Structure 1
Amino acid sequence: METANFNDIFKSSILEKTSNFSIVDSLVGLLVAFLIGLFIYYVYKKTFSGVIYSHTFNISLIIMSMATALIIIGISSNVLLSLGMVGALSIVRFRTPIKDPMDIVYLFWAIVSGILCGAGFIPLVIIGSILIGTVLILFGNRIKVENPYLLVVRYDETSIENLLEHVISEQVKKHSIKSKSVMPGNDFEVTYEIRVKDNDMSFINNISNLAGVKSAIMLSYDGNFTA
């Protein structure tokens, strides 16, 4: 009959699993993930063409690439740990809305780079990131985004509707009616989605000066509208 001694009791499966753990490979993977994250950070800042630049989102791209690499390094040598990690991540819910499709591209780029760094595909992630970054830099600044606006006009006579439509069609690039409503006091309110010509906003003064127009307000929006 075999008896368990102190060494058998003290022996842990965790120590056995760490015997296959390479500190050098892990540090190299995390360092490359950090450098790739810095490259993504630079490309995002260089090619950003939105309205409000988010520095915290850009920093999160670096952290995301490193954190993803850390996860892949941890689960690459243990199947049970990988299954547990998948189950743990499946309950995570992200509440921050991502409205710009290009932000999703950068998030996916950071995650893929972290996976490749953690898996040890260092040459692949370097070559791929250089190519992706080059494409974004070459074409990103050439894309001109036409920011839509909402033009809200309040008037008190239905007879000026045709004149209002004529003025808007003559002085903006595109327009379409989003909503029309009757306000208290027999006032009318109409909302247009418009795209201006060369950022020319002077036409709103012409609309305000029309007889019967009480107010004309122009707002920038992201394309989502609820009447």
Structure 2
Amino acid sequence: MNDFWTYLQTSLSTGNAEVTTATVVVTMLLSVVVGSLIYLVYRFFSKGVLYDRRFNVTLPLMTVVSTMIILCVSSNLAFSLGALGALSMIRFRTAVKDPVDLMYLFWSVAAGIATGARLYYVVLYGNLIIAAAVILFTRLRWNEKSYLLVISCESGALASVEALLAACKTSLRGKVCAGGRVELTVELKSACGADLPERIGALPGVESASLVSYNGDYAA
């Protein structure tokens, strides 16, 4: 028990002598390298509709800042308690719309924590495995493509449209009825022929038929 109080008093009054200038420089430079890796992975493998450069620049900076915080926390118990109280008052109100962007934020913070704790094997292998997983799942494609078919027609032509679609593997995604007109959004697991929009558009009462490729993120 006396040893615990002695350690507590020493930690509150002095820093950790092991955190030298060389340690700080090497650790911070390593955090820049790790943050650059995250930056490059997001830059070349992010599949969002719009690339946000400002968000991407934030990722390596967050890694560096997290590393600096962990270095300070690990050097002095009093500072760690003060930092915990200060960080608990911070409220982040910026909405992250894409769940994948949230994953990149967690990756940046985790990389900074591991680097600041000087767990270099965790930093090396952990970031390489995460980067490989991101690249793998981003590039992974299923052989079966999906298509979205948008049809605008009169309500009286709905039966003939459904009869033509019966030969295809379809799934109804949306249906809007207004003023005697119907707009259908149908997901197709196969194209059912490149001339499918033309065949549907030729039916009496059909105003338009559009077919687009769909990959789960956006129409292409």
Q: Which of 134, 139, 145 is residue 136 of structure 1 equivalent to? A: 134
TM-superposed CA distance for 1:121, in Å, is 1.7
Deviates more, 1:143-152 or 1:68-77: 143-152
Deviations 1:114-149 (A, max 9, x none): 111122222321121122223333453124598976
* SS of residue in 1 equivalent to 2:171: strand
Q: Per the alignment, do residues 146 and 33 of structure 1 end up closer, same or farther by CA in structure 2, a change over 3 Å counting?
A: farther
Gaps of 5+ in 2: 1-12
CA-based RMSD of the aligned residues comes to 3.6
1:38 and 1:200 map into 2 onto residues whose CA distance is 46
Match of 1:97 in 2: 97
With normalisation by structure 1, the TM-score equals 0.68
1:145 and 1:48 map into 2 onto residues whose CA distance is 21
Contact 2:96 2:102 in 1 (8 A): no
Q: Which amino acid aligns with 1:174?
A: T
2:152 and 2:194 map into 1 onto residues whose CA distance is 18
Over the matched positions of the two proteins, sequence identity in percent amounts to 25
Gaps of 5+ in 1: 1-15
1:24 and 1:74 map into 2 onto residues whose CA distance is 15
Q: Per the alignment, do residues 222 and 39 of structure 1 end up closer, same or farther by CA in structure 2, a change over 3 Å counting?
A: same
Q: Which of 158, 168, 174 is residue 165 of structure 2 equivalent to? A: 168
Q: Which amino acid aligns with 2:185?
A: Y
Contact 1:49 1:141 in 2 (8 A): no
TM-superposed CA distance for 1:35, in Å, is 0.6
1:195 and 1:17 map into 2 onto residues whose CA distance is 68
2:29 and 2:94 map into 1 onto residues whose CA distance is 27
Match of 2:8 in 1: none
* SS of residue in 1 equivalent to 2:89: helix
* SS of residue in 2 equivalent to 1:113: helix
Q: Per the alignment, do residues 66 and 149 of structure 1 end up closer, same or farther by CA in structure 2, a change over 3 Å counting?
A: farther
1:104 and 1:43 map into 2 onto residues whose CA distance is 14
2:96 and 2:164 map into 1 onto residues whose CA distance is 40
1:71-86 matches, cutoff 5 A: 71-76=69-74, 77=76, 78-86=79-87
Match of 1:6 in 2: none
Q: Per the alignment, do residues 203 and 49 of structure 1 end up closer, same or farther by CA in structure 2, a change over 3 Å counting?
A: farther
Whether 2:208 is the aligned partner of 1:215: answer: yes
Match of 2:185 in 1: 192
Q: Which amino acid aligns with 2:81?
A: L
Q: Per the alignment, do residues 181 and 147 of structure 1 end up closer, same or farther by CA in structure 2, a change over 3 Å counting?
A: farther
With normalisation by structure 2, the TM-score equals 0.70
Q: Which amino acid aligns with 2:85?
A: G
Deviations 1:187-220 (A, max 9, x none): 2223324146369865333333321012345677
* SS of residue in 2 equivalent to 1:154: strand
2:51 and 2:36 map into 1 onto residues whose CA distance is 17
TM-superposed CA distance for 1:92, in Å, is 2.0
1:145 and 1:60 map into 2 onto residues whose CA distance is 36
TM-superposed CA distance for 1:40, in Å, is 1.9
Deviations 1:13-47 (A, max 9, x none): xxx87896644333322211111111222333444
Match of 1:5 in 2: none
Contact 2:147 2:191 in 1 (8 A): no
Q: Per the alignment, do residues 182 and 134 of structure 1 end up closer, same or farther by CA in structure 2, a change over 3 Å counting?
A: closer
TM-superposed CA distance for 1:112, in Å, is 0.5
Deviates more, 1:20-29 or 1:198-207: 198-207
